[in-house]
């Protein structure tokens, strides 16, 4: 078979064509990766913002070198860590300068990495075919921040001790996420990822002990040393210049670190005291904004948002490409412009608010949420208005895809607004709320059994009880029957209802571990009882007073939704409508008029005998 027949287009080669496309797609983007702006050396000669990559590498090297010197005197134990830092600062010759260069070098790494990510977005350095550079820039920033965080504890002072305690506690909330916790055991094996992460960070028991300082010391070295080795291999294999800065620029950067270390010596702080909690608990400067967000939100929601932020940053280059194509002018990319302004402003404002100790969980979040989403809506609307300025059919046709992307983003905001609206009314998290809505969807399949099932569930739950996460309802109900009237009889009724077949049992039998011969759950109803879907529904129904009963424990519900919270709800709806209208107008005006066939009668005939 010839090679031409292999590459010949046709129905039989669609799969091969898709594989080839994906291979070329990823190969091109991996080839275009920039770790330290090695592909922008010409721009760096005239634009200092393109020298941020080499500057990062320089201060990284200075931080590593000074850190290796500090290891000579530092003792990583609870008893001696603070005293060894004190000795370095005041008794070791030039120790204060070495420690200052290490501390401010680490800060300079974070500043350079942050500015570089913002520059990538503003200048669209991820175009064309360089979207992975944002992920590389973000990983560089996160490694710098986590290296700084692990090094922050090594001082073993009061501020670092408590900031680390707060930070290392939050991963445990991941166990309250679906799949990661015990929500769906044994249908899905629990990962216990949150608690396992805390165990790795802190040590056995999840408390800050000698194990913690040992692990943080090793992680502090690993976050810098291992990436440095990998980067050196990358530069060596590709024959790139590591640091295209002349000696004057290198000297200026190093003098800035040394002078700062002399004028502003690295702080020592007070020795850590586990029995005295400082108010407010402050981290190092680069995590202040994140700690303020934790004050505004419930821990589970704050942890979810913390995980969503980096994923969003990685997706933004692709969204921008779908919206604007190869365009690089930031004024013609208003969505990215508004996202950049919103992200930078939120971090600065949050950092300031935590320093002055201002946070009100009941009043501040709506303003923050509404203003943030309205900034995004403004960027999307601005982007759509640019489409409406199209002058010909070709430009209108190109506006259809951005309109679809804008409609999807606006629709997602509408869904979030819907969920947050009911979260505000009922003070239920997104997980239980979505489970309540899912049960509500399946409820008609239970027919007359639904009301009985919910009434029995209400009987078994002690009044005012907040059921903890990762708890099997049936197991909990067995322990509660001594606390509620007629508990034994109610539990027997629940067992009968759980065995009731329904029209959607087949759906749950598609789950691999739902084995009809040896079922984990007797029916779909059994599954929804055990995994608290029924409990979440009755909690939602009672707090929304759907049955007009307004039970005593829920008399304060539904809660009042702040007026400002309506801003982003309405903004998302209007943005979605405008995007849909723009799509249809683009499709209509983007259709080029048909070219009329040539009129044969109007075509002059050649005279007889003319040369053909």
Instruction: Give the residue with greater pLDDT, 467 vs 332.
Output: 332
Categorize the per-residue pLDDT at 130 as very low, low, confident or very high, splitting at 50, 70 and 90: very high
Helix 210-238 and helix 132-153: axis angle, to 10°?
A: 150
Q: Which of 98-102, 108-112, 285-289 has the lowest mean pLDDT?
A: 285-289
Q: What percent of the chain has pLDDT over 90?
A: 36
Stretch 350-379: mean pLDDT: 80
Stretch 38-58: mean pLDDT: 89
363 pLDDT higher than 80: no
3-state helix, strand, coil in the chain (%, to 5): 70, 0, 30
196 pLDDT higher than 80: no
Give the Cα separation of 80 and 73 in Å (integer).
Answer: 11
**DSSP codes of every residue in 161-192:** HHHHHHHHHGGGGGGGSTTTSSTTTTTS----
Q: What percent of the chain has pLDDT over 70?
A: 86
Q: For 340-353, how does the pLDDT look when each residue is reduced to its tens digit (9 = 90+)?
A: 999 999 889 888 88
Categorize the per-residue pLDDT at 555 as very low, low, confident or very high, splitting at 50, 70 and 90: confident
Q: Which of 26-40, 436-450, 590-604 has the lowest mean pLDDT?
A: 590-604
The whole-number pLDDT of residue 2 equals 43
Q: Cβ(208)–Cβ(165) under 8 Å? A: yes
Phi-psi region of 559 (alpha: psi -120 to 50; beta: other; left: phi over 0): beta
Instruction: Give the residue with greater pLDDT, 195 vs 37.
Output: 37
The whole-number pLDDT of residue 206 equals 63
Stretch 264-290: mean pLDDT: 84
Q: Tokens in use for 49? A: 């913002």
The pTM score is 0.84
The whole-number pLDDT of residue 21 equals 87
Stretch 399-418: mean pLDDT: 93
In degrees rounded to 5, what are phi and psi of residue 333?
-125, 60
456 pLDDT higher than 60: yes
Give the Cα separation of 556 and 572 in Å (integer).
Answer: 29
406 pLDDT higher than 70: yes
**DSSP codes of every residue in 404-436:** HHHHHHHHHHHHHHHHHHHHHHH---HHHHHHH
Instruction: Give the residue with greater pLDDT, 204 vs 572.
Output: 572
- Of 365, 319, 363, residue with least CA distance to 339: 319
The whole-number pLDDT of residue 550 equals 60
Beta bridge partners of 87: none
Q: For 473-487, how does the pLDDT look when each residue is reduced to its tens digit (9 = 90+)?
A: 877 777 777 777 778
The whole-number pLDDT of residue 352 equals 86
The whole-number pLDDT of residue 13 equals 64
Give the Cα separation of 483 and 465 in Å (integer).
Answer: 11
Give the Cα separation of 563 and 542 in Å (integer).
Answer: 24
12 pLDDT higher than 60: no
Q: Tokens in use for 474? A: 């049936």
Q: Which residues of 167-176 are buried (b: 16+ CB within 10 A; e: fewer)?
A: bbbbbbbbbb
Domain locations in the chain as residue ranges: 28-170+209-267, 329-424+563-590, 430-554
CATH architecture of 28-170+209-267: Up-down Bundle (1.20)
Stretch 152-167: mean pLDDT: 87
Instruction: Give the residue with greater pLDDT, 528 vs 109.
Output: 109
Give the Cα separation of 359 and 350 in Å (integer).
Answer: 9
Categorize the per-residue pLDDT at 289 as very low, low, confident or very high, splitting at 50, 70 and 90: confident
256 pLDDT higher than 90: yes
Q: Cβ(64)–Cβ(224) under 8 Å? A: yes
In degrees rounded to 5, what are phi and psi of residue 610?
-70, 150
Average confidence score pLDDT of the chain: 84
Categorize the per-residue pLDDT at 404 as very low, low, confident or very high, splitting at 50, 70 and 90: very high
Instruction: Give the residue with greater pLDDT, 198 vs 109.
Output: 109
Stretch 69-83: mean pLDDT: 93
611 pLDDT higher than 70: no
607 pLDDT higher than 50: no
Categorize the per-residue pLDDT at 194 as very low, low, confident or very high, splitting at 50, 70 and 90: confident
Categorize the per-residue pLDDT at 562 as very low, low, confident or very high, splitting at 50, 70 and 90: confident
Categorize the per-residue pLDDT at 355 as very low, low, confident or very high, splitting at 50, 70 and 90: confident
Categorize the per-residue pLDDT at 191 as very low, low, confident or very high, splitting at 50, 70 and 90: low
> Where is 2: in which H helix or E strand?
none
Categorize the per-residue pLDDT at 51 as very low, low, confident or very high, splitting at 50, 70 and 90: very high
Q: For 293-311, how does the pLDDT look when each residue is reduced to its tens digit (9 = 90+)?
A: 877 777 777 888 888 899 9
């Amino acid at each position: 078979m010839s090679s031409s027949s292999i590459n010949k287009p046709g129905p039989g080669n669609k799969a091969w064509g898709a594989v080839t496309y994906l291979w070329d797609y990823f190969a091109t983007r991996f080839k275009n990766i920039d770790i330290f702006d090695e592909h922008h050396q010409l721009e760096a000669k005239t634009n200092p913002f393109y020298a941020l990559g080499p500057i990062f590498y320089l201060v990284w090297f200075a931080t590593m070198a000074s850190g290796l010197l500090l290891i000579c005197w530092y003792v990583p134990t609870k008893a001696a860590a603070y005293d060894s830092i004190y000795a370095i600062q005041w008794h070791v010759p030039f120790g204060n300068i070495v420690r200052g260069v290490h501390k401010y070098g680490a800060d300079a790494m974070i500043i350079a990495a942050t500015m570089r990510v913002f520059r990538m977005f503003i200048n669209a350095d991820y175009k064309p075919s360089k979207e992975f550079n944002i992920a590389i820039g973000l990983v560089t920033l996160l490694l710098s921040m986590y290296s700084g965080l692990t090094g922050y504890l090594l001082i073993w002072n009061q501020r670092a001790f408590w900031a680390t305690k707060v930070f290392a506690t939050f991963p445990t909330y991941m166990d309250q996420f679906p799949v990661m916790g015990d929500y769906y055991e044994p249908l899905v094996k629990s990962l216990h990822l949150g608690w396992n992460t805390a165990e790795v960070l802190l040590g056995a028991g999840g408390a800050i002990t000698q194990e913690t300082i040992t692990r943080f010391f090793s992680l502090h070295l690993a976050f810098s040393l291992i990436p440095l080795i990998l980067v050196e291999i990358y530069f060596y294999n590709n024959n790139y210049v590591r640091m295209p800065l002349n000696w004057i620029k290198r000297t200026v950067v190093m003098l800035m670190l040394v002078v700062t270390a002399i004028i502003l010596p690295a702080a020592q702080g007070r020795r850590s005291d586990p029995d005295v909690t400082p108010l407010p608990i402050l981290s190092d400067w680069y995590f202040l904004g994140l700690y303020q967000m934790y004050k505004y939100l419930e821990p589970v929601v704050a942890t979810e948002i913390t995980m969503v932020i980096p994923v969003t940053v990685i997706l933004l280059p692709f969204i921008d490409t779908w919206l604007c194509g190869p365009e690089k002018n930031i004024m013609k990319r208003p969505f990215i412009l508004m996202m950049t302004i919103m992200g930078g402003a939120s971090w600065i404002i949050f950092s300031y608010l935590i320093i002055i100790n201002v946070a009100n969980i009941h009043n501040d979040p709506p303003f923050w949420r509404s203003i943030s989403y309205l900034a995004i809506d403004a960027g999307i609307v601005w982007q759509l208005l640019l489409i409406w300025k199209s002058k010909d059919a070709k430009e209108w046709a190109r506006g259809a895809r951005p309109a679809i992307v804008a409609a999807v983003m606006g629709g997602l905001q509408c869904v979030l607004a819907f969920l947050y609206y009911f979260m505000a009314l009922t003070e239920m998290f997104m997980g239980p709320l979505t489970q309540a809505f899912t049960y509500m969807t399946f409820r008609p399949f239970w027919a007359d059994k639904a009301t009985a099932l919910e009434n029995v569930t209400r009987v078994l739950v002690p009044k005012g009880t907040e059921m903890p996460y990762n708890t099997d309802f049936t197991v909990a109900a067995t322990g509660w029957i001594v606390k509620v009237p007629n508990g034994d009889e109610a539990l027997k009724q629940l067992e009968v209802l759980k065995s009731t077949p329904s029209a959607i049992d087949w759906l749950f039998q598609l789950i691999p571990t739902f084995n009809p011969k040896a079922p984990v759950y007797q029916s779909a109803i059994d599954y929804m009882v055990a995994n608290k879907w029924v409990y979440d529904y009755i909690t939602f129904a009672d707090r929304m007073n759907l049955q007009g009963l307004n039970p005593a424990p829920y008399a304060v519900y539904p809660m009042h939704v702040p007026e400002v919270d309506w801003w982003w709800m309405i903004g998302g709806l209007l943005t979605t409508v405008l995007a849909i209208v723009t799509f249809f107008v683009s499709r209509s005006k983007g259709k080029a008029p048909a070219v009329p066939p040539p009129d044969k009668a109007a075509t002059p005939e050649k005279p007889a005998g003319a040369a053909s």
